[in-house]
Amino acid sequence: MHIAICDENIADRKQLERLLGRESDKRKNDTGVFYTDSFGQPEVLAKNPMPYDLFFIDLITDETDGLTFALSLCKFGVSAPIVLCSSSINYKEAASALSECPSNLLFLDKPIKTAELSAVLNQAVTIQQNRVPTIELRSEAGTFYVQEDDIVYAVSHDNCIDVHLKNGSKIPIISDIYNFYDEVAMYTHMILLTGNAMCNIVYVDKYTPFKVYLKDGTKLNSSPFALKDIKWAEKRYLAE
């Protein structure tokens, strides 16, 4: 498990590193080794947060406090558990005032006690094991992180693929349909129709050997060779 600590207080960062090191030794045969990176400035972590499986955050002196930074990570697409470590700011109380609080936020009081850290790690491991993985889409407009069923279909043209999302937006990425399908083939809802198109079985209304009709009215060319995959994906989806 890769862990990011983001705390302006260097003494607190070092203490948490030591505590996590001890927890790693105790858990290495169960949850695996903990690899920890420490950050004193949130903007550094914000540049590339997605590789991390768990975050510990406390920011009090910057314009962006810990809760605000955690919410920005969630908005960016982070679904990994985020532990807000309360010192002068009561993050749990502040989060309770939100109209909608992300389910991946956890809370821990400072000074950190071993038993309480162990308990929050157990919660974090459970969230991590059950969270839906995200798919990275890189375009000229930026990098976007979506879940499997955010993608309705994708079609290629020239050297690009247009990935159509359920919210109606379209993200162009530089790739070909085979490479993109290889990236998402682990997801059971995705079907490769032809060398130019793929779709998500969740949004399929009906199909023939040569066409797939989506629920939003979109028609995609298909191939008789894809029929077996379509029927297999449909059967597994209906069984979920």
What are 122-144's pLDDT values in tens digits? 999 998 888 777 888 888 888 88
User: Do residues 7 and 40 touch, judged by C-beta distance below 8 A?
Assistant: yes
Report which of residues 218 and 100 the model is more confident about.
218
User: Do residues 205 and 213 touch, judged by C-beta distance below 8 A?
Assistant: yes
What's the pTM value of the predicted model, to 2 decimals? 0.67
pLDDT at 63 over 70: yes
Q: For residue 76, what pLDDT is reported?
A: 85
User: Do residues 60 and 35 touch, judged by C-beta distance below 8 A?
Assistant: no
Strands 219-221 and 211-214: antiparallel
User: Do residues 180 and 212 touch, judged by C-beta distance below 8 A?
Assistant: no
Q: Could you tell me which residues are beta bridge partners of residue 143?
A: 138
What are 165-215's pLDDT values in tens digits? 999 999 999 889 999 998 888 788 999 999 999 999 999 999 999 999 999
pLDDT band for position 48 (cuts 50, 70, 90): confident
| Adjacency order of strands within the sheet including 219-221 | 204-207, 211-214, 219-221
CA distance 240 to 142: 34
Q: How many helices (H) and strands (E) does the chain have?
A: 7, 15
Q: Is 225 left (phi over 0), alpha (psi -120 to 50) or beta?
A: alpha
